[in-house]
Structure 1
Amino acid sequence: MTCSIILGSERDYHAHHLANYCKKRGWLVHLFDAAAFPHRDQISWSTAPQQGWLNINGKHVGFEDIHSAFWSSLEPHALAPSLQPQQQGIALADCSAMLKTWFQWDGIFWVNSYAAIHAHRVKPRQMAVAQALGALIPKTYTGNQPAAIVSLARQFPCIFKPVFGGDHAAPLTPHHVNNGHLERVLRYAPVTVQQYIPGTNVRTYVVGQRHFSAEIRATTIDYRQDPDARIVPVTLPDKMARLALSLADSLGMVWGGIDWRLSDDGDYYFLEINPSPMFIGFERQTGFPITEALFDLLTNVTGSCHSSPEINHSAQLTPPPRHPIP
């Protein structure tokens, strides 16, 4: 029977929210938690006949029955602790290979695809694509050369954040650029340093060909650190709305959350587009029908199914630790 799969853990509130909405609308949906693979759930492929299938908590789901799939979150595999390190490495690689067999199977409409999810983690390329489309980008340096960071910091007030993501943006202070601090910490990891743009934050959600935007009024540099941040619906200028749709399309996304910095002069600066953004809080504060739009996307398959040849098959499936610069 035709169905949708939602990739998310048992503790993923957004995954359960969307799954419950699909069920209320009468659409068959299964939640796949990667943490339950391989000890409980199975992923299979066979040549006799050629077919693939999932077993999710005892339920058989053929690849050919999966109309669409939603990538909410991917938990690390729960492998047996009794395995030796070499065995652990082989087991992780084998589990990853089977997951990717499913993720990249032709005929399944992903919101969003494996390629789009992992392309997002290469932030410099994402910014380069946005800039080529005409987006304004804050002056940015990504890497681990101290002199380049010092040069940028002398020109503008700056913030810094991880290259990969997973931590908040913070102001770059004299402490960070003086006394050999950069030389020490950049031996452990590169960093993204970016010109600070005075202004406010705007988030745009793209769902297929629909878009919803809101201003996030916060008192902190990173609005996620302000528990009292207010979310106010706004109308994106037509030019920026077209750019938002082009950004998602060019980066292989049919769903995403774009973060803009709206300067005091009225210019929109592109910061990033997230292919698996949280949305329930925005929906509740704004009334945006994001859940309904995602349901329509999953069930009607409106929009394009994207793929990318630039797939890193050894890419991490779990987030990194916090950045060492602080």
Structure 2
Amino acid sequence: MIGIAGSRADPVMVHFATRCVMREVPFAVIDLVDLAATGGWSLSVPPDGSDVFHGGEVVRPGELSGIYVRPIYLGRSPAEAARWQGLMDGFTAWMDETEVAVVNRPRHHQLNSSKPAHYAWLSASGLRVPPSLMSSDRERLAEFVRAGRAVVKPVCGTRATTREIAATDVDALPEPAGPLLVQRLVEGDDVRAHVVGEDVVACRFSSTAIDYRSDRQARRQRVDVPDALADLLVDLTAEQGLTFAGWDFKVDEAGDYWCLECNPMPGYSFYDRVCDGAVSDALVDVLGGWLS
């Protein structure tokens, strides 16, 4: 049986549970938000047979074949926030020690929380990364933006809409400003490649919008990325201690792939619909323990 640990309000978790139902795969729901609000738990490190969650369902995590976890906090009070912290401290320690398959173990994938460090690692790993600048110096920022089309990006791993930035936008920044992260715009199609274990499932989007996710008319299709790139993504995902990751690329008119980021907790349901459920199926196979 697969465990699904997160929030019932998370559409990604609902999407995965729906795929499990379609495939007649048994699963147990560990609603972390409800547990922090009104439930109870007992977790041992190292794990043992007495470990249990008492929420909407009674779940013994050590009896599961695998757990898909998305710890997104949606609490409603300081008391719930304190209980959430206690729950996640205990559950994270348990996941670090358990032999149960976990996608993904929370203490891994720290690089994405600092985009400059993330870009440096991506580039050092052999991927093309668009030139970027993080600075609070308006003169340096304006010089970068005037040298070619650029977009503004979040400094941390927080999800944000990508938008183009002009020199006039930099001039309008308050003093002191920043730090601001800007990146050279690569014109071309977008590719999202999901790595699940050794599987790579990718889809391509063609759009004139800066952020294709805002374009409901964007052309979309499942594609295969080049074999050498697929092998590299599998290796780099594992190097981060991840089983599941979402890789974002721009593909220029010459066919070169430019890496924008590796997302360690991808909200993948949008892309899975383009790929006819292939990402969910790969997750089910890994968590179900059916891979050799």
TM-score if structure 1 supplies the norm length?
0.78
1:10-69 CA-partner distances (Å, limit 9, x unpaired): 22222123223334544432222222132322222358x9653222314141x4213211
Tell whether 2:154 aligns with 1:154: no
Structure 1: gaps (5+ residues): 304-326
Please say which of residues 117-126 and 194-203 is displaced more in the overlay.
Answer: 117-126
Is contact 1:137-1:269 (8 Å) kept? yes
> 2:189 touches 2:206 (CA, 8 Å); kept in 1?
yes
Matched, 1:168 2:161: yes
- Closer, same or farther: CA 107–289 of 1 in aligned 2, 3 Å: same
Q: Which residue of 2 aligns with 1:54?
A: 53
- CA–CA distance in structure 2, aligned partners of residues 253 and 148 of structure 1: 36
Conserved? CA contact 1:68–1:301, under 8 Å: no
| Pair 301,183 (structure 1): closer, same or farther in 2 beyond 3 Å | farther
- Give secondary structure in 1 for the equivalent of 2:37: coil
Distance verdict in 2 for CA 1:285–1:76, change over 3 Å = closer
CA distance 1:20–1:197, change in 2 (3 Å): closer
Q: Is the partner of 1:291 in helix, strand or coil?
A: helix
Residue equivalent to 1:321: none
% identity of equivalent residues:
23
The separation in 1 between residues aligned to 2:242 and 2:127, in whole angstroms, is: 17
Match of residue 97 from structure 1 = 89
* Native 8 Å contact 1:19 1:30 kept in 2: no
Corresponding residue for residue 240 of structure 1 = 229
Tell me the SS of whatever aligns to 1:294: helix
Match of 1:177 among 170, 174, 192: 170
Q: 1:169 to 1:182 in 2, by over 3 A?
A: farther
How far, CA to CA, are the matches of 1:89 and 1:16 in structure 2?
23
Matched to 1:191, the amino acid is L
Task: Report matched runs for 1:254-269 at 5 Å.
Answer: 254-269=243-258
| Mapped partners of 2:267, 2:44: distance in 1 | 36
Contact 2:2 2:287 in 1 (8 A): yes
How far apart in 1 are the matches of 2:134 and 2:290? 37
CA contact (8 A) 2:201 2:275 kept: no
C-alpha distance in 2, partners of 1:46/1:248? Answer: 29
Please list the CA deviations of residues 161-219 of structure 1 after superposition, one character each: whole Å capped at 9, or x if unmatched: 2122221111111222215x153442xxx332101112121111211111122211112
For residue 94 of structure 1, report the CA deviation from its aligned partner.
3.0
Which residue matches 2:101?
109
Maintained 8 Å contact 1:207/1:254: yes
The total of aligned residue pairs comes to 290
Give 2:7's aligned residue: 9
For residue 64 of structure 1, what is the aligned residue in structure 2?
62
Distance 1:143 1:70, change over 3 A: farther
Instruction: Give RMSD over aligned pairs.
Output: 2.8
Q: Distance in 1 between matches of 2:118 and 2:290?
A: 25
Match of 2:42 among 21, 41, 44: 44
Q: Is the aligned partner of 1:134 residue 2:133?
A: no
Give the TM-score normalised by the residue count of structure 2: 0.86
- The residue number in structure 1 matching 2:191 is 202
What corresponds to 1:250 in structure 2?
239
Q: 1:301 to 1:195 in 2, by over 3 A?
A: farther
Q: For the residues of structure 1 that align with 2:44 and 2:171, how far apart are their CA atoms?
A: 60
Structure 1 residues 53 and 214: CA distance shift in structure 2, 3 A = same
Query: What CA distance in whole angstroms lies between the structure 2 residues aligned with 1:122 and 1:65?
Result: 36
3-state SS of 2:191 partner: strand
Letter in 2 for 1:213: A
How far the C-alpha of 1:118 sits from its partner, in A, is: 4.6
The Cα of 1:104 is off from its aligned counterpart by 2.6
Confirm or deny: 8 A CA contact 1:231 1:286 kept in the other structure: no
Secondary structure at the aligned position of 2:260 is classed as strand
Partner of 1:294: 283
Tell me the CA shift for residue 98 of structure 1. Answer: 2.8
1:33–1:75 CA contact under 8 A, matched in 2: no
2:109·2:240 contact (CA, 8 Å) conserved in 1?
A: no
Structure 1 residue 258: Cα displacement: 0.9
Amino acid aligned to 2:108? A
Query: Partners in 1 of 2:268 and 2:95 — Cα distance?
Result: 23
